[in-house]
Amino acid sequence: MANKIRLLTVPNVITCLNLLCGCAGIVLALDGHTFGAMVCVLAAVVFDFLDGFAARLLKAYSPVGKQLDSLADMVSFGTLPAVMLYHALCGMMVTAEGGYHLLAFSPFLLTVFSALRLAKFNVDDRQTGSFRGLPTPANALFFTSVSVICVDSSLGVWTIPALALLFSFLLVCEIPMFSFKVKDFVPEKYSLQLVFLLLSGVTMLLCPLYSISVFAAFAPIVLLYILLNIIKWIWKINNKKSNKQ
């Protein structure tokens, strides 16, 4: 019994590290330290992967761990990116218009829809090996990357609210999206994941050649992830229609 409790504690400790990264990132984002907040998001993504990996490796699953994971993700991937975008929008509006208005709060739509996405994930039995809708870590990486781009370039004030609306839909849509939960490594089963990793690596390598921040590369990488999944989804639908005819 004591051994079981210790095993269950390991993934939960890792999940708490994810949560701490989210809290630290929010403080950094509010102080205007965009790159520091981005590092916190990346660390949270690593811990989010490791807690699931540890749970599967140790067979240390628990209802508490499942709920704790979602609560940590809500802070690190639902709230932190929205705070970063809010800070970026406030800065853009002061520069462009001399004041703040309600548009600056539009990124918090992502927080609301991240909560809906995480609640849906916890009760959806179809999402054990893959996802339905965009995972919150991918959404967080995209928007923290957009926050970094805002520091280095001038985006239109309406760009972030428009992206927030689009990605809010993607978080709760029914499009199947692959995960990296590897149960038995058979290359044929994970060919799409391997293609994605290869193209992502190429994207990261090209960034220094075009004087682009490596952090900014996460935006096109997430777009690539979404595009590959949409192509696969459409192909499956067309394939089913062809088989019925």
CATH of the domain at 70: 1.20.120.1760
DSSP-derived secondary structure letter, 1: -
In a domain, 128, yes or no: yes
In a domain, 242, yes or no: no
Mean pLDDT of 46-69: 84
Quote the CA–CA distance of 98 and 95 in Å, as a whole number. 6
**Residues in CB range of 119: below 8 A, 6 or more apart:** 70
Name the residue range of residue 123's domain.
Answer: 2-177
Q: How many domains does the chain have?
A: 1
In a domain, 85, yes or no: yes
Would the pLDDT of 42 be above 70?
Answer: yes
- Dihedrals phi, psi of 234, to nearest 5 degrees: -65, -40
- Tell me which residue of 83, 64, 73, 9 sits closest to 44, measured CA to CA: 73
In a domain, 162, yes or no: yes
Taking the model in full, what pTM does it have?
0.86
Would the pLDDT of 81 be above 90?
Answer: yes
In a domain, 65, yes or no: yes
Q: Which of 1-10, 58-67, 172-181 has the lowest mean pLDDT?
A: 1-10
Quote the CA–CA distance of 111 and 103 in Å, as a whole number. 15
**3-state DSSP assignment of residue 131:** strand
In a domain, 231, yes or no: no
In a domain, 156, yes or no: yes
**Residue 174 and residue 133 in contact, taking contact as beta carbons nearer than 8 Å:** yes
Mean pLDDT of 183-210: 77
pLDDT band at 9; cut points 50, 70, 90: confident
Q: Which of 78-87, 161-170, 193-202, 213-222 has the lowest mean pLDDT?
A: 213-222
**Residue 113 token pair:** 């829809």
In a domain, 192, yes or no: no
